Structure 1
Amino acid sequence: MTAKKYARYKESGVEWLNCVPDHWTLRRLGYYFEERREKVSDADFIALSVTKSGIVPQLETAAKTDDGDNRKRVAVGDFVINSRSDRKGSSGVSDLDGSVSLINTVLIPRDELRGRFVHHLLRSTVFQEEYYRFGRGIVADLWSTNYSEMRNIQLAVPPIDEQIAISDYLDVETAKVNALVEEQRRLIELLKEKRRAVVSNCVTKGLNTTVPMKDSGVDGLGKVPSHWTIAPLGCRYSVQLGKMLDTSRITGQNLRPYLRVFDVQWGCINTEDLPRMDFSKQEREKFQLMPGDLLVNEGGSYPGRSAIWRGELVDCYYQKALHRLRANQVQHDTSEFLFYVMLWAADRGVFRAGGNEATIEHLPAEKLRRYRLPFPPINEQKSIAEFLSSVTSRFDALIEEASSAMLLLQERHSAIVSAAVTGKIDVRGLVPQPEAVAI
């Protein structure tokens, strides 16, 4: 069945609501909700996490603080929302008694509201945008909305029987969309795992499965083709860390564009709107990029993240926190093959402390040079790189297709929820009701 519009509408006088059904009640949020400000300890009330999926027992990945005795109480049926704009969408009606951090706002709904309707209404995209519009802060992209501002947001609320009808409809729609999104998410993870397996197999075993093998002597690498060389990276490539930048020393005499660490993503490099810095003649000789150079993230959250410089700009340099790897002329290695080796190593956690993804690691040049990696003959390096470029491109296209499908599903769902809770569509009667049982 297709949702229709209501027979009669009225002007709400509020931009985010626009016109609403004539029989819906317009009041400020502060009329419908009371703020719960009770301070409790997580020793008495279990810690909860406020997520984009709703209110759940505290996640293992949640940042732990020492303010366990300084939290807000949450009761079953309360609506909780994270007040910070960088946590947009993290909210929901709680099915649990517990406690949350002070950054969250806890609301007690009046009896004339139904919890499931509140859950859909206050989690809708249009309400979330309005909520954070009321926020205040000193940083352009990070601010918080307090209850004192939130209470002034205008709401349009239908009668209770209509709240129930809207909730029934949206519960069914949400379940459908969530199931479809989960299917796409599983498909994406499967494609990524297959992609990783193909890269791993090719850079450690090669394309010919019939060649004799030998023990590499490297933990995590296992056996490799017997004719391959296992060598420290520094024996095959020069490793040069970028220039330490100091904006206070800019003279404007020798300005050159340079790459920052976030300009280098896996397999691609941003060259648009690059900043410029003084590079002396000696520094230009030392830090200039040449086609075929491999740029590697020195550390932070993504140690080992790499991309090949293709010569997009004639005269470009790079800052500290990026390593430039350049093949030695004697060995004639190809950075296309090394790129996939770095991808394999990063996926295996080789560049992280003890392989622990929760630990930030750094790759100083001397450490990077010592990593022992596999090096086939140059012709084989090229064949493997060409094969992987073709195969991974197909995987990437499928992953992008699944990601786009998932995004469209989520956008459609958000649009339906927003339309239903603001009365733009009339969903009454769209959810099949159970037949009456004759007694």
Structure 2
Amino acid sequence: MSSADGIYFSQLPLRRFLREIVDGPFGSSLTSSHYSDEGARVVRLGNIGAAHFRGSDAVYIPHEYFRQLQRHEVKPGDLLIAGLGDERHPVGRACIAPEGLGPAIVKADCFRARLDERRVTHRFAAWALSSSLVSDQVAALSRGSTRTRINLDVAREIQIPVPSPEEQRRIADYLDAETARIDNLMQQARRGLTMLDERRSATVFNAVTGRDLAEKKKGSSLGWVDSLPESWPVIPLKWAAKIGSGHTPSRTRPEYWENCTIPWISLFDVGRMRNPRQERLSETTQKISELGVANSSACLHPAGTVVLSRTASVGFSTIMDADMAVSQHFVTWTSGERLSPEYLLYTLRAMWQYFESVQVGTTNVTVFMPDLNAIRVPVPPTNVQRSIVNRIRADANRIDALSDTFGSQIKLLTERRQALITAAVTGQVDVSTASERGIEA
């Protein structure tokens, strides 16, 4: 069979093969407040990969409550379909509920389907629904912008390619084997990225603590490092840098939020501060007005000031590339002549153990100002500080280049994987020759 559009099998709506399809409990019928430490498994969106069940991040509900929701039950071998998706995790992707799952139900935005497997097998349907052919089609039918959603009616109308049952089995066997090879290569690349992240952290720590110097060491009184070069004094940070913070002008006064021209670091900027490659922040997500600054505890900090997040996401830092204000969720240090802002930045990044030890709270963690006022740091001579920063940057450049290589590999392998799935389920790949590549067909 040939086709001008590259699809070599007939396409039919999923409803033609459905014996049963259900979604998860509606609204307040199942929320995180119902979860327990053990019981029946709750299958959530994060568990539904592209033809692969992701077993991590398991949550449960009590068996008694499971019995009340048994209409939504999942059994091993059932077809699981994602009713909600985003750019990285397409809506409509599907997988098979694994053996050993135990008692389970689907959560909202997840569908459990059972097909007439004499005509379409669950294994093949999972691959077909995870193909670009179907994800592009579903995206056009779905609602939403950032996250797209479909309901059961839309799911029933999804068009899938339908080869013969024997061809379905060959395609599924082929994709199981080929994607496993690709997944193994991606896993190796991700391990490489993890090792580079560890090397980056070790480089920073060893440099700012003098561990990589052939200088005589002394015991350290700091809780986050055991020894330091003997010639390096340890002083309260506030002796070498002016400590500060910020504020949020009143949201109930609209005039404070008009004509906003002053860069203002808020929690919206922490995402960029998490990136270990960045040293400086040149633009902020939000700005405030001069009137807002004048009528609040906010103030303008000069360019070169080091800023650290102390609430919610604790311990992330950067250097202001221009005069900026900050919200109350941050602490700032404006260095004097004795301390390089870049050296201070990397010292704060090496102190993650300290920030973990003094943060308070569980969901909304924070580090209080007295603990930040109490920070002490090693302060080598300024020429040594410059040398430390240069060594960190030189090694970071090498790490960045290797990280980019691994990132490109993962991107290409991801695209290859998706293209292979689509080509196989549409008949563009002749899987009948799979045995020649060591794949049983």
The TM-score with structure 2 as length reference comes to 0.80
Offset at residue 148 of structure 1 (A)? 2.3
The match for 1:156 among 158, 161, 169 is 161
Change (3 A) 1:431 1:216: same
Paired with 1:183 and 1:434, the residues of 2 have a C-alpha distance of 22
| Residues 13, 156 of structure 2: 8 Å contact kept | yes
For 1:37 and 1:397, the matched residues in 2 are separated by: 46
Q: Which residue does the alignment assign to 2:334?
A: 326
How far the C-alpha of 1:306 sits from its partner, in A, is 1.0
1:105 partner amino acid: F
The 3 A distance-change label for structure 1 pair 271 and 245 is farther
Distance 1:316 1:74 in 2: 54
The answer to whether the 8 A contact 1:26-1:155 is kept is yes
Match of 2:317 among 279, 291, 306: 306
Q: Is 1:369 the equivalent of 2:364?
A: no
What is the CA deviation profile of residues 196-254 of structure 1, one whole-angstrom value per residue up to 9, with x for unaligned ones?
A: 22221111235422x22222122231011122222333332222222314444343367
- Secondary structure of the 1:287 match is coil
Structure 1 partner of 2:97 = 94
Aligned match of 1:15: none
Instruction: Note the aligned Cα RMSD (angstroms).
Output: 3.5
Q: Which residue of 1 aligns with 2:299?
A: 287
In the superposition, relative to structure 1, how do residues 354 and 364 fare at CA in structure 2: closer, same or farther (>3 Å)? closer
Shift of 1:108: 0.9
How many residues align? The count is 408
Residue 128 (1) aligns with residue 135 (2): yes
1:232 matched to 2:236? The reply is yes
Change (3 A) 1:27 1:285: closer
Please identify which structure carries the higher strand content: 1
Matches within 5 A, 1:315-394: 316-329=324-337, 332-346=338-352, 348=353, 350-352=354-356, 360-394=364-398
Closer, same or farther in 2 for the Cα pair 1:354/1:177, shift >3 Å?
farther
Q: Is the 8 A contact 1:215 1:222 kept in 2?
A: yes
Q: Does 1:106 align with 2:107?
A: no
What's the CA shift for 1:157? 1.0
Alpha-carbon separation, structure 1, partners of 2:427 and 2:203:
50
Q: Bigger CA drift: 187-196 or 268-277?
A: 268-277
Q: Check if 1:52 corresponds to 2:37.
A: no
Aligned to 1:79: 79
User: Which stretch has the larger CA shift, 82-91 or 404-413?
Assistant: 82-91
- Tell me the SS of whatever aligns to 1:257: strand
Distance across 1 between alignment mates of 2:299 and 2:60: 42
Alpha-carbon shift at residue 421 of structure 1 (Å): 1.5
Distance 1:369 1:393, change over 3 A: farther
Match of 1:208 among 192, 203, 213: 213
Scaled by the length of structure 1, the TM-score of the pair is 0.80
Deviation at 1:364, TM superposition (A): 3.4
Counterpart secondary structure, 1:351? helix
8 Å Cα contact 2:303-2:321 kept in structure 1: yes
Larger helix proportion of the pair: 2
String of CA shifts for 1:303-322, please: whole Å, max 9, x gaps. Answer: 111112233xxx54333323
Shift of the 433–387 alpha-carbon distance from structure 1 to 2, 3 Å rule, reads closer
Matched, 1:256 2:262: yes
SS at match of 2:414: helix
Tell me which moved more, 62-71 or 88-97.
Answer: 62-71
Task: Return the offset for 1:282.
Answer: 4.9
The separation in 1 between residues aligned to 2:336 and 2:152, in whole angstroms, is 63
Aligned-pair distance for 1:152? 1.4
Secondary structure, in 3 states, of the residue corresponding to 1:296? strand
The change in CA–CA distance for 1:228 and 1:418 in structure 2 (over 3 A counts) is same
Counterpart CA distance in 2 for 1:324 and 1:227 is 27
The AA in structure 2 aligned to 1:201 is N
**1:92 aligns to what SS in structure 2?**
strand
| Shift in Å, 1:291 | 2.8
Q: Distance in 2 between matches of 1:358 and 1:122?
A: 39
- Report the Cα distance in structure 2 between the residues aligned to 1:338 and 1:147, rounded to whole angstroms: 55
Deviation for aligned residue 1:65: 6.6
Residues 100-146 of structure 1: CA distance to partner in whole angstroms, max 9, x if unpaired? Answer: 34222111121212233122112224423443554446xx4345422
Q: CA deviation at 1:432?
A: 2.5
- Between the aligned partners of 2:137 and 2:129, the Cα distance in structure 1 is 10
Does the 8 Å CA contact 1:235/1:369 hold for their aligned counterparts? no
Q: Is the 8 A contact 1:352 1:361 kept in 2?
A: no
C-alpha distance in 2 between matches for 1:224 and 1:169? 57
State the shift of 1:181 in Å. Answer: 0.6
What is the distance in 2 between the residues matched to 1:233 and 1:218? 12
Question: Helix, strand or coil: the match of 1:9?
Answer: coil
- 1:277 matches 2:299: no
Q: CA-to-partner distance for each residue in 1:1-46, whole Å, 9 max, x for gaps? A: xxxxxx5227xxxxxxx5522xx33321122232156989997744
Aligned pairs for 1:170-209 (under 5 A) are: 170-209=175-214
Letter in 1 for 2:330: L
Quote the Cα distance in structure 2 between the aligned partners of 1:317 and 1:64.
45
The correspondence for 2:7, drawn from 10, 20, 37, is: 20
